[in-house]
Amino acid sequence: MTSDQEHQCCNHANPSNSQPTVAKPDMGPAIETPHGSSSQSIFTIDNMDCPTEEALIRSKLLPMDGIEKLDFNLMQRKLTVTHTLDQPELIQQALIAISMHAVPIARTLGSSASAEMPAPNSHKRWWLLGLGGVAAILAEVIAWSTGTDKSWPVIALSLCAIASSGTGTYIKGWIALKNRNLNINALMAIAVTGAVIIGQWPEAAMVMVLFTLAEMIEALSLDRARNAIRGLLEMTPDKAHVLQEDGTWKEMEAATIMVGSIARVGPGERIALDGELTKGQSAVNQAPITGESMPVSKAIGDKVFAGTINETGSFEYRITAAQTDSTLSRIIRAVEDAQGGRAPTQRFVDDFSKIYTPIVFILALSIAIVPPLAFSLPWLPWVYKALILLVIACPCALVISTPVTIVSGLAAAAKVGILIKGGVYLEEGRKLKSLALDKTGTITQGKPVVTDLVALSGEQKDSLKLAAALAERSDHPVSTAVSVYWKAQAGAVVLDEVSDFEAITGRGVKGRIADQWFYLGNHRLVEELGICNATTESILSRLESEGKTAVVICSEATPLAVIGVADTIRETSRQAIIELHALGIRTLMLTGDNDLTANVIAKSVGIDDARGNLLPEDKLAVINAELASYETVGMVGDGINDAPALAKSSIGFAMGAAGTDTALETADVALMDDDLRKIPQFIRLSMKTAAILKQNIFIALSIKVVFLVLAVIGAATLWMAVFADMGASLIVVFNGLRLLRSSSQNCP
């Protein structure tokens, strides 16, 4: 019995994959690697996209010696086999023996697994189906007008319809039966054959044609979801004009262009590769990456991205990444990897079908056997009822509904510049109750400018020069502001030599100039040096109450001058906070800056609560406290001094991810530009996804229940059950695909 259950139609349950629910997704292993003593082989199988095929592959491979584990990614048609075989070719041979066209892939950084996927629906299949459809209709018309199902033209036309539309189903069904696997194809083949045997020729033909049509529509829809995100890559030009050694320009294949080459792009052209602008200036529409189509102006030193559109000027740029390593390629790979992980709903559905399918199977078996044996009732009607129950036992619609919805959601998000690193975050997003935001660079632009300079002792100019000498060595935004200010004031004056330079976390920097220690940093630093005084404090608090960040340049003995810097709040941040509050999410600002400044800025953006003077570990403690009272807590940050807090939060968001590699890799959700409104947008998408997931589960299950009842009272036919099942699959697939369309309307 147990082994029969394994062979049951669409038994999607995957014992090796049903781990307890964890906070982070279990990304499918993607690279062919030794795995202890075992290794992994990955195959793409272009005709594996239904749980039916998964069950078949399972029953073929699992009994083989040396096979340890199978991981299926039906959406990407990828199978990962963990094994101890010396000859991995054996796996491929076994797969080909059951007509699974397995192609081994070795995924390197460059190539992507699903890049060369062949189209499953060839023109030929559509033509054959069309032919079958016409024949079936003619057979139906002739049978109806002549009043008999068994005249030779009807039989000939029906045979023609069944042969042209149903050959694939018969072959798949036969292979399944040979492997003692009763899948939907086998059931269909049995049903159609049964109808032919009792002489219902036109019905048999029509059922076959409609079943095949439904299957092909489903396959096409799945392709749409699968390729939604790939489409972005296709828009990237595959040629670029590259500067040659002799100073001429030559058009070259983008795939062959080396990092470090100089390329040129004209107005209206798409940029072929990632790079850094070296000459000229322009405005670039970065919608393919960020989802924002307002052109961004680009000057020398700015980053440009493959796939984005150069709008106005022409410019030259130095290539910084090979074609397969561009930001866009990496986004697409990340989305594909995210699809491999199982979201919570999918785990639920898988667990559910693991129980549901065997129960219905046992029910079917007893309906076929018990009434005839125990009550001497005729065999045929009860076997027939059992067959209907078997169709109902197939959780196809249920199983396919979740990945199609999640994949559509992930793709829709990627298109608007929100990179979600796993279905689990897409599902969790709607549960966010509290969101912690970093101040510098998240709420503000992170490009502060010096607004005040107040001397405390000595010449103002000398103090500024000392501050600039230290600031020069740091890339903290406050230091950058001081540097820039100094350059504007003093021009090309040479700064003093600094030795033993050191950054002091959460405080500032120190270094030795002409054998004397100097410090540039916040109030905390001055206090810790033990040199604070009343004048300094009154200046500090005046600046802080204006929402400015204030730092002090000090010698070892005394504070020399206070420098005030102000950062601009992004207009989009204000809007984002309003939207977050409308979604019922509490907002909280976390910053290393002082409390007063933090509160002034929080108030002006409309944030509920602000905490200042936080060291990285303090930010982590705040997140822990928030988690204790709000359960699902998000954190947005730039990822440097926020890394521990970001990692601890339920969902870690990174901003401006297009420019920084680490943000793209480490965040749970990466916002490709600096627009905080992408967070409420993400939450709305998450809500919509959850709603569709629920609808789909409801649709799939209620159709099952209706047919279970109809079958038991004897009111359902086999064809009705098959159609209901296919219909349910189509409905849930289309419902899931709605998310793809929604992305464009969701755009801010």
Pick 532 or 636: Cβ nearer Zn ion: 532
Could you give the C-alpha distances from 53 to 50, 185, 238, 529, 554, in angstroms and in order?
A: 6, 10, 36, 70, 72
Residue 509 or residue 739: which is nearer to ligand ATP going by CB? Answer: 509
At position 619, the amino acid (one-letter code) is K
If one counts every other C-beta atom within 10 angstroms of the C-beta of residue 690, the result is: 19
**From CA 657, how far away is CA 672, in angstroms rounded?**
5
Segment 316 to 335, residues that bind ligand ATP, using CB under 6 A: none
Is 26 in contact with 411 (CB distance < 8 Å)? Answer: no
In sequence order, the β-bridge partners of residue 550 are: 564
Task: Report in angstroms the alpha-carbon separations of 416 from 219, 229, 290, 748.
Answer: 26, 11, 6, 9
CB 367 within 8 A of CB 379: no
Comparing every residue's Cβ against Zn ion, the nearest one is: 532
Distance between CA atoms of 140 and 138, rounded to whole angstroms? 5
Rg (CA), the chain: 32
Decide: is 509 part of the binding site for ligand ATP (CB under 6 A).
yes
Which 3 state secondary structure label does DSSP give 261?
Answer: coil
How many beta carbons lie within 10 A of that of residue 383, not counting itself? 14
User: Which member of 181, 434, 549, 555 binds ligand ATP (CB under 6 A)?
Assistant: 549
Q: How far is the CB of 683 from ligand ATP (least distance, A)?
A: 23
Contacted by 502, from ligand ATP, Zn ion, none: CB < 5 to 8 Å by type: none
Matching residue, tokens 């004897």: 714
Q: Is 453 in the site for ligand ATP (CB under 6 A)?
A: no
x/- binding map, residues 456-475, to ligand ATP, per CB under 6 A? Answer: ------------------x-
Nearest distance, CB of residue 634 and ligand ATP, angstroms: 16
Q: Looking at beta carbons only, is 527 or 617 nearer to Zn ion?
A: 527
SS3 243: strand
- Report residue 401 as tokens: 């509904």
Q: Is residue 599 a contact residue for ligand ATP (CB under 6 A)?
A: no
Closest contact distance (angstroms) between CB of 51 and ligand ATP is 47
Residue 40 contact among ligand ATP, Zn ion, none, beta carbon within 5 to 8 Å by kind? none
Nearer to Zn ion, 260 or 530 (CB): 530
CB of 484 to ligand ATP, least distance (A): 13
* Residue 716 touching ligand ATP (CB under 6 A): no
**Secondary structure of 414-440 in HEC code, one letter for each residue:** HHCCEEECCHHHHHHHHHCCEEEEEHH
- Is 439 near ligand ATP (CB under 6 A)? yes
Distance CA 197, CA 307 (A): 59
Contact call for residue 587 and ligand ATP (CB under 6 A): no
Give the residue numbers marked as catalytic: 438
Nearer to ligand ATP, 74 or 481 (CB): 481
How far is it, in rounded angstroms, from Cα 570 to Cα 636? 15
> Based on CB atoms, which residue is closest to Zn ion, 497 or 527?
527
Residue 69 in 3-state DSSP?
strand
Token couple for 356:
């549901």
What Cα–Cα distance (Å) separates residue 627 from each residue in 311, 353, 416, 613?
45, 33, 29, 20
59 touching ligand ATP, by CB under 6 A: no
Residue nearest to ligand ATP (CB): 592
Would strands 633-637 and 651-654 be described as parallel, antiparallel, or unpaired? parallel
| Partner that binds at residue 503, options ligand ATP, Zn ion, none, CB closer than 5 to 8 Å by kind | ligand ATP
Contact partner at residue 133 from Zn ion, ligand ATP, none, CB < 5 to 8 Å by partner kind: none
Whichever of 103 and 503 has its CB closer to ligand ATP, that residue is: 503
Report the Cα 150 to chain-centroid distance in Å: 55
508, interface contact from Zn ion, ligand ATP, none, CB < 5-8 Å by kind: ligand ATP
Question: Residue from 217, 503, 643, 687 that binds ligand ATP (CB under 6 A)?
Answer: 503
Give least dist CB 437 to ligand ATP, A: 9
Given Zn ion, ligand ATP, none, residue 430, with its beta carbon under 5 to 8 Å by kind, binds none
Of 520, 553, 663, 728, which lies in the binding site for ligand ATP, with binding defined by CB under 6 A?
520
Q: Kindly write out the interface string for residues 257-286 of this chain, putting x where it contacts ligand ATP by CB under 6 A and - elsewhere.
A: ------------------------------
Nearer CB in complex with Zn ion: 160/526: 526
Taking the complex as a whole, the smallest distance from the CB of residue 664 to ligand ATP amounts, in Å, to: 19
Stretch that binds ligand ATP, among 400-408, 476-484, 554-562, 678-686 (CB under 6 A): 476-484
- Closer CB to ligand ATP, 76 or 474, in the complex: 474
**Chosen from ligand ATP, Zn ion, none, partner binding at 532 (C-beta under 5 to 8 Å by type):** Zn ion
The string of DSSP letters for 712-747 reads HTT---HHHHHHHHHHHHHHHHHHHHHHHHHHHHT-
Which residue blocks in 323-343 are alpha helix, DSSP H?
Answer: 327-340
51 vs 656 by CB, closer to ligand ATP: 656
In the chain, % helix, strand, coil (3-state, to 5) comes to 50, 20, 30
List strands edge to edge, sheet with 282-285.
Answer: 296-298, 282-285, 309-310
What burial letters (b/e) apply to 493-532, b meaning 16+ CB within 10 Å? eebeebeeeebeebbbbbbebeeeebbbbbbbbbeebebb
Strands annotated E in 591-656: 609-611, 633-637, 651-654
The closest of 226, 224, 260, 237 to 112, measured between CA atoms, is: 226
> What is the closest distance, in whole angstroms, from the C-beta atom of residue 672 to ligand ATP in the complex?
20
| Minimum distance, C-beta of residue 567 to ligand ATP, in the bound complex (Å) | 9
Query: Toward Zn ion, which CB reaches closer, 459 or 527?
Result: 527
Residues near 541 by beta carbon (within 8 Å), at least 6 away in sequence: 596
| CB of residue 231 to ligand ATP, shortest distance in Å | 37
Cβ 561 to ligand ATP shortest distance, Å:
13
Is residue 591 a contact point for ligand ATP (CB under 6 A)? yes
Which range in 75-83, 366-374, 411-419, 590-598 contacts ligand ATP by CB under 6 A? 590-598
Query: Under the rule (CB under 5 A), what is the footprint of Zn ion?
Result: 527, 532, 537
Q: Which of 114, 308, 326, 440 binds ligand ATP (CB under 6 A)?
A: 440
CB 566 → ligand ATP: shortest distance, Å? 12
Query: What SS3 class is residue 512?
Result: strand
Which of the stretches 129-137, 394-402, 501-509, 599-607 binds ligand ATP when contact is defined by CB under 6 A? 501-509
Contact residues for ligand ATP, defined by CB under 6 A: 438-440, 474, 476, 478-479, 503, 506-509, 520-522, 549, 551, 591-593, 641
